[in-house]
Structure 1
Amino acid sequence: MNKFFASLGFVVLFCLWGMPAQAQQTITVLDVELTAMSGVFEVTKDVNVRSGPDTTFKRVAGLKEGTRVRAIGKHAKGGWIAVSKDGETLGFVFAKMLVPVVDGALDEQFMGSFTSSNKDIGVACGYRFRFERKVKVEGASFDTADYEVRFRCASAKGGATFYAHMFLTESPVIARKGVHLIGLDVRSIGDGFEEYLTTRYFYHPKTGKVTFNGHSLPRFATPPKSQAFETTSIKDALVQTLEASVASWTPKAWETLFTKSE
């Protein structure tokens, strides 16, 4: 379990957040008028699917915890959502039993570079970024998308090659606001075991906004000059978060990295 989740007292608030297909667009599903919405949702516990938006309607199916479905529309009263799976309309599920998810898988690895604007540091890096796997978060009902980042850096003090771990929570950490978490863990900065540098950002996929949340070891990183920025995709959010995190590292952090690489 990532140490951030334990230190934060991480609790997912199972409140509904959705992405309307169009503002107030209405559709009819199974003879029920709904407000259209879209997005992928995950079932938090085994749940019944009903033929209408109330428990008085017939049970037509059941969904197991962890099943992902696609939203079609939301009922105006009672907090029910019409869902589909594999293109087939299933029926209605109580909204509190669903949390929205994003797919953090990336098809291809990519390369990038970073040059420190701090002349006292004088570091230039190239990096390789690749998706590794999805991991179930202990004590939560969703996965993180995990990524490996390999850095090759150079400065007047020499060169350093090291690895970092990034993650994106596929479900929101603040569900009612649709806010997900992106984190960068660098075990080479710190003691490498219980103490290492983690940088955290909140990510809002609906708006593309990313906001700085904090560092685990302030002596190795300073708050970024820009506390928030706009992104156009999950990949763009990951890249900008990565480079903003690296830009916040202090000379002490870089000294630690280059010393460990000697």
Structure 2
Amino acid sequence: LPDGSASRYAPRLPGKPICSHQIDSYLSGTALAQAARKKSTPKPRPKRKPKQKAKPVTIIPEKAPYVILRDINIRSRPETKSKRIGRFKKGSLIQSTGRAKGSGWIAVRTDKGKNGFIYFKMAAPLIDGSLKSNIAGRLAAAGLPACGYVIEFEGKSRIENELQRTADYNVPFECTRQGKPLNFTATMFLTELPYKESGPAVYQINVDLRDMPLEDEDVLTVIVLYDKDKKQVAFDTVNDKSFASGTKIAPKKTPSHGAALKAALAIAYAAWGKAAWDQLSRED
């Protein structure tokens, strides 16, 4: 070019003048090459944070049966975001291997023998209400008939369309009231799952007197609650207050489920009012 600017950007071809369109083409090619080099230059990858080591899990040994309340995942650690290693179906009966200390997680084994964890609210602790032999006892209190009884295990029942199951008992009584013999039979059941399935280990015991002339039904029921962890039985309610004594009944300590059954009968005995005893005397 007359001003010599072409010489700064491109070499001259020997024996030939350089035209302006050749310079534009050369410059465009140079720009594309520079852009390509920029694109092809890899960006440095961000440094990955080192993985934190998983905290050790302390297991408190426990061997106890549980019933699964709904379909749940088994986790590799006592954390909801940990890896899923298996699954339990609703209604499955499982055996725990321990408890993760300081958490609500139950240690279990999968069907393939792997160690894992499930959250405690997804499983209900199961107790065995069966008796190896009958349990006999005696009851006496001021103003009440003196009675002897025998708790006889009858078998187990399932509540239709529910996970709950019960252990059932017959309880023949032989009493003396106002110098006369008074014999009758009560029935009793113990829920083998907590009465609030996802709640604490509190089980319900019902003591029933049948053929009672109540307003809406013919069964007088005393309901007692058995707290397995506290090893205690406490009065809850009577279904018809007109047949209740109204006596304040203190909780009773119970080291075993057999002792809980005896304590439940003692509570029912104290809760039955004069109207209940009068009706039992008429029936005898």
Pair in the same fold by TM > 0.5: yes
Structure 2 residue aligned with 1:252: 275
Structure 1 residues 77-92: aligned runs within 5 Å = 80-84=105-109, 90-92=115-117
Deviation at residue 189 of structure 1 after TM alignment: 3.0
Aligned residue for 1:189, secondary structure, equals coil
Aligned residue for 1:33, secondary structure, equals coil
- Residues matched between the structures, number: 226
Matched, 1:93 2:118: yes
Matched, 1:36 2:60: yes
> Cα–Cα, structure 1 residues 165 and 253, in superposed 2: closer, same or farther, change >3 Å?
same
2:242 paired residue among 210, 216, 219? 219
**Whose helix proportion is higher, 1 or 2?**
2
Question: Residue type of the partner of 2:210?
Answer: R
- Which consecutive residues of structure 2, in runs of 5 or more, have no partner in the other structure? 1-54
Structure 2 residue aligned with 1:128: 150
Question: Residue type of the partner of 1:115?
Answer: A
- 1:34-58: CA deviation from partner (whole Å, max 9, x where unpaired): 4425333211124343444446524
Deviation at residue 193 of structure 1 after TM alignment: 8.6
When normalised by structure 1's length, the TM-score is: 0.73
Does the Cα contact within 8 Å between 2:206 and 2:223 map onto a contact in 1? yes
Deviation at residue 192 of structure 1 after TM alignment: 11
Does the Cα contact within 8 Å between 2:98 and 2:106 map onto a contact in 1? yes
Tell me, in whole angstroms, the C-alpha distance in 2 between the residues paired with 1:146 and 1:168: 7
| Stretch of structure 1 that moved more, 34-43 or 226-235 | 34-43
2:94 paired residue among 42, 60, 68? 68
CA RMSD of aligned residues (A): 2.9
Tell me, in whole angstroms, the C-alpha distance in 1 between the residues paired with 2:114 and 2:209: 44
1:154 paired residue among 171, 176, 190? 176
Structure 2 residue aligned with 1:57: 83
Structure whose alpha-carbon radius of gyration is higher: 2
Question: Residue type of the partner of 2:167?
Answer: A
- Which consecutive residues of structure 1, in runs of 5 or more, have no partner in the other structure? 1-30
Identity %: 30
Deviation at residue 80 of structure 1 after TM alignment: 3.8
When normalised by structure 2's length, the TM-score is: 0.68
Structure 2 residue aligned with 1:203: 226
> Cα–Cα, structure 1 residues 147 and 84, in superposed 2: closer, same or farther, change >3 Å?
farther
